[in-house]
Structure 1
Amino acid sequence: MALSSALLLALSGCSTMGGEDPEPTASEPTSSAAGEVGGEVVLVTHESFNLPKKLVKAFEAESGIDLVTRAAGDGGTLTAKLSLTKDNPTGDLAFGVDNTFASRPLDEGVFATYEPTLPPGAADYALDEGADKLTPIDVGHVCVNVDTTWFDKEGIKPPATLADLTDPTYAGLFVTPGASTSSVGMSFLLSTIAEYGDEGWQEYWTDLLANDTLVVDGWEDAYYGDFTQGGGKGARPIVVSYDSSPAFTVADGKSSTAALLDTCFRQVEYAGVLSGAANPQGAQAVIDWLLSDEVQAALPTAMYVFPVSGSVEVPADWATYAVQPTAPLSVSPADIAANREQWLSEWTDVITR
């Protein structure tokens, strides 16, 4: 879930949640990671990885580990680089491979086996295949968002479903990032494939475009450039964003936006020990740390995502305004791996007609 670097910079000033370190729990390093732990551990991740420096320094002081982070572009670029360097890994572990990209590195043997003790609820996000190699760390959902204040002012009922977006009532009101240029846009494409199937999604996109849907390069372009609540001079009150976005448009105890929960596609980010890691025990300890209450509680304000752990609380605004879907749309990692290039080619054909 490689989020906008500009957005993350805006969020990075938020302090980490929690106070003193809790007593050791099941999410502390397990026996498989115990023993000689320390030294340098290189974490290969996407460019949006962002945890509070105070939290990182506390982990380093307690574990004796020197954590070095190497960014490798967005989630797709990260996954491709991990596969290309599988025989000579550039780090000890990776974080940021998500369920839309997981099949390729798993099939190519990029990750070594490691199964930490998961915190409550985290097993719900484990992969059906590869759970012994990739550990769920965070979850988020790409959803259509609406500017509720705009619809209230205009006296128009906002859309609620994907089908609604093709209704003439909403002609010229919707903007989305492109699937070929944005991970958010790719997730939206996958949501339409999940909803309409391999035989129907192209027709749905044809209808979307006929309803004057605007396709732009990236999420920042859509949200901050064209969306009416993006802070600029946008003219479109419907945008593809995240289920957590409404928590960041709160003023006077009310959010000016809402996520349409029937349109959401789930993204889970994973961490895994790289095969051939120079410090595999240190890598395991980092994964255990990513599952700890301290890190899980910091994820919302640090990386704009939900924790996979059910034992930590999200910020108050998130609990009220960042509502997660109960039945998100999904496509299996295996189906994505098998069909991604064909789907993107077909999608490009549709939008360029």
Structure 2
Amino acid sequence: MPNRLSPLLSAALFCVVSSVQASEELTIYTHPSFASEWGPGPAITEAFEEQCDCQVNLVALDSGGDILQRLRLEGSSSSADLVLGLDTGTMETARQTGLLAPHDIDLSALTLPVDWSDSLFVPYDWGYFAFVYNTEQLPTPPASLDDLINAPDDLKIIIQDPRTSTPGLGLLLWMRSVYGDQAPEKWVKLKNKILTTTKSWSDGYFSLFMNGEAPMILSYSTSPAYHMAIDKTDQYQAVQFEEGHYLQVEVAALVEASEHKALGRKFLEFMLTRDFQRHIPLKNVMYPATDLGAELPGVFSKLIQPETTLYFDPAEVASNRSRWLNEWLDAMTR
């Protein structure tokens, strides 16, 4: 989850500029919350620049979906050396573009809930999608996905668009993994509870949810950690659903057109070190992808612990994504 809990996010270009003239530049397409001053980007790029004799430029696009779209549009003329912010819901589609290069690095340090041996994508964090609720607005939230779908229509939620947002796609996959072919009719029932569907996670979280527009929002099981550690409040909590929670693994990859592949691979290796991973828990508000010295803050012990991990193989997502999106669109317009 990129530091999805920063109070201010900019969708504009954000660059971390080195004060020293560097011999190489590394351009990374990412999302605004990773690049923001509250996110992990500034500290991570500073740490990497200290050892690489290079300058790291973070180009912040609106969302994970926009990263993929920009990569497709630019093709072999892309100015990106790396893309950081895709996930297990979008990575197979990115693979099929043919615009990414093998990373050729050792992944043995990874500690994920699923086995990982991919030749193109390097994970840097992971987490579970969950509905976060305002305990002051909603003292007793639905205890399951089924309870949410069958709740009175005056319970309003905020979700994200699965065409542009990785959490939005995550909910689509969550619904599909629980309900299978019945998912379209479940969407029809859920539709009347949806206050709005935002383009990105940050659009809904800060502008709407944090301003009390709805008592629940699609987010992450880790989101309350930021509020507890930084805002010093237990007001925002995640609901543990009986059916289980859908897993997201966030990844980075090397762009085939890059003229700095060796440097890009060094950054991918750096992602698996403590100097990168230690910034993940409270700046990206997710679980680190390794246990190399990335100790979790105490508030993480207060988070929900899903008993069932829901997950589709990325290839299965890619082969069904268009059909499942069309089913969702049809349900939303009935």
Structure 2 length-normalised TM: 0.81
Aligned residues between the structures: 313
Matched, 1:176 2:142: no
Q: How large is the Cα RMSD of the aligned pairs? A: 3.0
Amino acid paired to 2:295: E
Q: 1:92: which partner in 2?
A: 81
* Contact 1:42–1:68 under 8 Å retained in 2: yes
Which residue, out of 34, 41, 47, partners 1:49?
A: 34
Distance 2:198 2:270 in 1: 35
Q: 1:148: which partner in 2?
A: 135
Amino acid paired to 1:302: K
Give the 3-state SS of the residue equivalent to 1:87 in structure 2.
helix
Give the 3-state SS of the residue equivalent to 1:94 in structure 2.
strand
The range that moved more, 323-332 or 274-283, is: 323-332
Which residue, out of 287, 297, 302, partners 1:315?
A: 297
Over residues 43-76 of structure 1, what are the superposed CA-to-partner deviations in whole Å (9 max), with x where a residue is unaligned? 2323332335344233212221222222343111
Q: For residues 210-289 of structure 1, what are the structure 2 equivalents within 5 Å?
A: 212-218=193-199, 219-220=201-202, 222-224=204-206, 227=209, 230=210, 232-234=211-213, 236-250=214-228, 255-262=234-241, 264-289=245-270
Task: Check 1:350–1:300 CA distance in 2 against 1; reply closer, same or farther (3 A cut).
Answer: same
Bigger Rg over Cα: 1
Task: Report the identity percentage.
Answer: 27
Matched, 1:71 2:60: yes
Question: Deviation of residue 208 (structure 1)?
Answer: 1.8
Structure 1 residues not aligned, in runs of 5+: 11-36
Over residues 245-282 of structure 1, what are the superposed CA-to-partner deviations in whole Å (9 max), with x where a residue is unaligned? 22233399762232223353222111222213211111
Q: 1:167: which partner in 2?
A: 150
Matched, 1:132 2:115: no
* Contact 2:127–2:221 under 8 Å retained in 1: yes
Amino acid paired to 2:249: V
* Contact 1:111–1:134 under 8 Å retained in 2: no
* Contact 1:104–1:337 under 8 Å retained in 2: yes
The range that moved more, 59-68 or 187-196, is: 59-68
Distance 1:224 1:65 in 2: 34
Task: Check 1:133–1:95 CA distance in 2 against 1; reply closer, same or farther (3 A cut).
Answer: same
Structure 2 residues not aligned, in runs of 5+: 11-21
Q: 1:332: which partner in 2?
A: 313
Over residues 69-101 of structure 1, what are the superposed CA-to-partner deviations in whole Å (9 max), with x where a residue is unaligned? 223431111112223334233222221121111
* Contact 2:130–2:220 under 8 Å retained in 1: yes
Q: For residues 298-309 of structure 1, what are the structure 2 equivalents within 5 Å?
A: 298-309=279-290
Q: 1:195: which partner in 2?
A: 178
Distance 2:42 2:219 in 1: 27
Distance 2:99 2:268 in 1: 16
Task: Check 1:253–1:280 CA distance in 2 against 1; reply closer, same or farther (3 A cut).
Answer: closer
Structure 1 length-normalised TM: 0.77
* Contact 1:92–1:280 under 8 Å retained in 2: yes
Distance 2:204 2:74 in 1: 34
Q: 2:14: which partner in 1?
A: none
Distance 2:98 2:268 in 1: 19
